[in-house]
């Protein structure tokens, strides 16, 4: 090219005044203008080689250099190398691409059509494990890869983390968002492709067995909890905090005078020393006080509910409610019949309520007996309490208490004679209790969690929740603690300064700590933290147990404390407990409540414990959702089957042999005979 460029062109389209240059192609003006935009001094550039006019005019494209692209075939040949099926999706995809001689680029050209959105880099991120397919389009691409490599249908999908259910969502789009979240986890990957009748069958099974629990008691409980009629006793105390958990949402506030009476009763029964001038027999802990608050709220809530509503209460105005009503037989007759009509029969719940009322009216130590001024709050209620009865109560309070005691004792005997067991505590875990090794059977659930543990890199929160579920169940199996002690367990990291026994006694909770002498994680709980602190099992000595380093337990304790617990906390305040909730932006307290911990345990059983015939996942056939208390049944039954000793079974769950025999041990005659046969058969092996 010349050294300078002129901005004007001749009218002749074939010639432009570039110094010493000629434009060979028309239209020249385009080339001239493009050259004008280039600021580089053309004189400094070497002259371009002349263009072959004959080839250019002929219109033949230039040939691309390099090897020709590999031909695309529908089913590529497989290399003869031996291979082992890898457990993870990225490894499996990379292996089969290598076996079939596919690069990411060639595989993309072979399976992706013009309208598809999946690009070459997406397949590359799958093979390297940076990302994983989760959308409907991505799963469809996986099916094409399976077909190309002649793999079984669903081969790659089975290796994916089951943290989302994109394939099932279109088929359940009509359901509410909360129900979709609950159901989608338990639906098969090809759910939307199945016939409508089969989809309905799967949904019915998941709702009945996994979500609801499939027992008669669970169905009754679900229907009963949909009607909120209980009274709430608002207070800032810790006792009330436990009583008004999520299950109290939607309840009504109790009237002020009834609230004051109940708080006086709670203070009387929970204070360290009995108030001056009053006598007391026994005292309540926080858990017992919370339970009594809930039961009193249910009773008065039923009494003041409208008679023509869903609850079918008595309809007493709220301003006429008072604790003195509990001493009138007519009130109890109505309430007991109401309970029978609602449930269909009597249970031990009614017996416990009568015992509670009897303790209030007991001579010398009953709280109501020592407060005759409670009669001042009584008001007449048609067909329930007359004005004459109120006058008599104001004149002779002791006589009213004496008559009620006689009535309540007789009524208690009547109810006990016909009471039935509505909730069989063993029913949800029968497949485990009937196994030869109940603990070994329950252990399968923890192993299922490890097998299906999501990737911590791609799904950090889901992996943290799975690790928490694993540790919950493992701690339950090793410690046999009640829910409260497990839920309130604190921790001290390795090398940290652990809490003293006096500090833990004041907090009434235990601590997980590293024992340097034993070289392992130890659980230390003062005796006062237990519900049965006065039991002969403790003898006022603390509970101490060194956790075994088995089944990757120590590995996950360290990971949980170092990484997972912080992920679960997010930005919420640290409650200093070992187990914490999955905090959200609106979470104020990450500590588990009684209901929250039960739900977390139940959710782990739903996801990993119950065998699902439609997905092939889950550890145990016939298992039903249950809470942490059932682990105590598993431990006690396991020890009984192995030793036949109720005393040793009590050691496993920190309780007495009598309590084990009455509440926990499932030790049938055939179990006893089998245990004796082991000893007797040894004589034949000599």
Mean pLDDT computed over 54-72:
65
Neighbour tally for 595: CB within 10 Å = 14
| DSSP code string of 140-178 | HHHHHHHHHTTPPTTTTGGGS--S--TTTGGGGTTS-HH
Q: Looking at 63-77, 412-426, 523-537, 575-589, which range is the least confident one? A: 63-77
| DSSP code string of 35-49 | HHT--S-GGGSPPPP
Degrees to nearest 5, angle at CA 224 with 218 and 226: 110
pLDDT of residue 380: 93
- Please write the tens of the pLDDT for every residue from 515-532: 999 999 999 999 999 988
Q: With bands split at pLDDT 50, 70 and 90, how would you rate the model's confidence at 127?
A: confident
Mean pLDDT computed over 450-458:
88
pLDDT of residue 213: 74
pLDDT of residue 214: 65
pLDDT of residue 43: 43
Long-range contacts, stretch 567-572, CB < 8 angstroms, 24+ apart:
567/460, 567/461, 567/464, 568/461, 568/464, 568/465, 568/468
CA distance 448 to 460: 19
CA distance 498 to 513: 7
- Please write the tens of the pLDDT for every residue from 570-595: 888 999 999 999 988 788 889 999 98
CA distance 31 to 253: 86
CATH of 89-160, one of 1.10.3470, 1.10.260, 1.10.530, 1.10.1330: 1.10.260
Mean pLDDT computed over 532-540:
83
Cα 469 to chain centroid, rounded: 8
Q: With bands split at pLDDT 50, 70 and 90, how would you rate the model's confidence at 232?
A: confident
Mean pLDDT computed over 7-22:
43
Residue 113 has pLDDT above 50, yes or no: yes
Structure tokens at 50: 């002349």
Q: What is the C-alpha end-to-end distance of the chain, expressed in Å? A: 110
Backbone dihedral region for residue 277 (phi beyond 0: left; psi -120 to 50: alpha; all else: beta) = left
Cα separations (Å) of 601 from 76, 474, 564, 581, 664? 48, 12, 17, 12, 19
| DSSP code string of 506-564 | HHT--EEEEETTTTEEEEEE-GGGSTTTTSTTTTT--EEEEPP--TTHHHHHHHIIIII
CA distance 227 to 206: 24
Mean pLDDT computed over 551-569:
96
Residue 6 has pLDDT above 60, yes or no: no
- For residues 179 and 157, is the Cβ–Cβ distance under 8 A? no
| DSSP code string of 429-456 | GHHHHTSSSHHHHHHHHHHHHHHTPPPT
Structure tokens at 82: 């031996």
- State phi, psi for 579 to the nearest 5 degrees: -95, 130
- For residues 515 and 521, is the Cβ–Cβ distance under 8 A? yes
For the entire predicted model, the pTM comes to: 0.72
Neighbour tally for 587: CB within 10 Å = 15
Cα separations (Å) of 587 from 234, 501, 572, 573, 594? 21, 31, 6, 9, 16
For the chain, the average pLDDT equals 84
pLDDT of residue 169: 60
Strand partners of residue 514: 521
DSSP annotation of 459: -
Cα 405 to chain centroid, rounded: 45
Mean pLDDT computed over 10-26:
43
Q: Looking at 83-97, 353-367, 475-489, which range is the least confident one? A: 83-97
Q: Is the peptide bond before 27 cis (omega within 30 degrees of 0)?
A: yes
CA distance 611 to 425: 20
- For residues 484 and 594, is the Cβ–Cβ distance under 8 A? yes
Q: With bands split at pLDDT 50, 70 and 90, how would you rate the model's confidence at 171?
A: low
- For residues 400 and 372, is the Cβ–Cβ distance under 8 A? no
Q: With bands split at pLDDT 50, 70 and 90, how would you rate the model's confidence at 684?
A: confident
DSSP annotation of 381: B
- Whose tokens are 């004679």? That residue is 417
Each domain of the chain, given as residue ranges in start order, spans 1-59, 89-160, 229-414, 427-488+535-638
Helix 387-395 to helix 397-418 angle (10° resolution) is 120
Cα separations (Å) of 62 from 89, 124, 643? 43, 31, 88
- For residues 171 and 199, is the Cβ–Cβ distance under 8 A? yes
């Amino acid at each position: 090219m010349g050294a300078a460029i002129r901005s004007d062109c001749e009218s002749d389209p074939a010639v432009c005044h570039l110094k010493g240059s000629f434009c060979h192609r028309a239209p020249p003006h385009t080339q001239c203008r493009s050259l004008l935009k280039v600021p580089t001094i053309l004189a400094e550039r070497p002259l371009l080689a002349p263009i072959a006019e004959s080839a250019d005019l002929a219109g033949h494209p230039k040939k691309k250099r390099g090897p020709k692209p590999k031909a695309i075939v529908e089913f590529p040949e497989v290399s003869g190398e031996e291979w082992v099926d890898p457990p993870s999706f990225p490894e499996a995809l990379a292996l089969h691409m290598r076996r079939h001689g596919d690069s990411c680029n060639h595989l993309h050209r072979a399976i992706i059509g013009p309208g598809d959105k999946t690009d070459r880099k997406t397949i590359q991120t799958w093979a390297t494990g940076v990302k994983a397919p989760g959308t409907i389009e991505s799963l469809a691409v996986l099916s094409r890869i399976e077909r190309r490599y002649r793999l079984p249908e669903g081969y790659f999908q089975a290796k994916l983390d089951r943290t989302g259910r994109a394939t099932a969502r279109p088929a359940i789009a009509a359901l509410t968002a909360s129900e979709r979240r609950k159901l989608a986890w338990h639906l098969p990957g090809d759910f939307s492709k199945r016939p409508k009748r089969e989809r309905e069958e799967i949904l019915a099974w998941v709702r009945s067995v996994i979500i609801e629990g499939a027992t008669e008691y669970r169905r009754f409980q679900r229907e009963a909890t949909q009607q909120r009629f209980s009274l709430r006793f608002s207070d800032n105390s810790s006792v009330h905090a436990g009583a008004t958990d999520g299950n109290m949402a939607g309840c009504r506030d109790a009237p002020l005078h009834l609230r004051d009476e109940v708080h006086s009763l709670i203070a009387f029964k929970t204070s360290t020393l009995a108030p001056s001038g009053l006598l007391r027999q026994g005292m309540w802990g926080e858990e017992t006080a919370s339970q009594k608050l809930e039961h009193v709220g249910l009773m008065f809530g039923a009494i003041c509910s409208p008679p023509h509503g869903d609850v079918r209460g008595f309809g007493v105005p709220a301003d006429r409610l008072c604790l003195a009503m509990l001493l009138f037989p007519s009130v109890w007759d109505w309430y007991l019949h109401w309970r029978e009509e609602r449930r269909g029969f009597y249970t031990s719940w009614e017996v416990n309520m009568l015992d509670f009322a009897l303790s209030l009216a007991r001579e010398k130590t009953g709280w109501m007996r020592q407060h005759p001024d409670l009669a001042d709050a009584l008001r007449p209620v048609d067909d329930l309490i007359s004005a004459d009865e109120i006058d008599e109560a104001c004149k002779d309070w002791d006589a009213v208490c004496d008559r009620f005691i006689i009535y309540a004792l007789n009524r208690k005997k009547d109810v006990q004679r016909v009471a039935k067991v509505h909730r069989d505590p063993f029913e949800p875990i029968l497949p485990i209790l009937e196994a030869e090794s109940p603990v070994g059977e329950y252990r399968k659930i923890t192993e299922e969690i490890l097998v299906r543990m999501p990737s911590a890199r791609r799904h950090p929160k889901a992996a943290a929740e799975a690790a928490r579920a694993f540790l919950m169940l493992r701690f339950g199996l090793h410690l046999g603690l009640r829910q409260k002690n497990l839920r309130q367990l604190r921790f001290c990291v390795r090398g940290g300064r652990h809490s003293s026994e006096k500090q833990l006694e004041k907090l009434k909770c235990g601590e997980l700590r590293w024992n340097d002498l034993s070289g392992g994680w130890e659980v230390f709980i003062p005796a006062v933290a237990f519900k049965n602190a006065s039991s002969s099992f403790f003898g006022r000595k603390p509970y101490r147990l060194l956790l075994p380093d088995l089944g990757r337990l120590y590995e996950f304790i360290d990971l949980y404390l170092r990484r997972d617990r912080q992920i679960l906390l997010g930005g919420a305040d640290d409650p200093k407990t070992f187990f914490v909730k999955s905090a959200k932006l609106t979470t104020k307290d990450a500590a588990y409540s009684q209901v929250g911990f039960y739900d977390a345990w139940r959710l782990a059983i739903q996801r990993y414990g119950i065998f699902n015939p439609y997905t092939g996942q889950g550890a145990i056939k016939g298992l039903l959702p249950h809470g942490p208390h059932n682990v105590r049944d598993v431990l006690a039954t396991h020890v009984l089957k192995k030793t036949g000793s109720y005393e040793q079974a009590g050691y496993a769950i920190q309780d007495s042999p009598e309590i084990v025999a009455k509440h926990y041990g499932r030790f049938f005659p055939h179990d006893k005979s089998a245990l004796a046969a082991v000893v007797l058969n040894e004589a034949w092996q000599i």
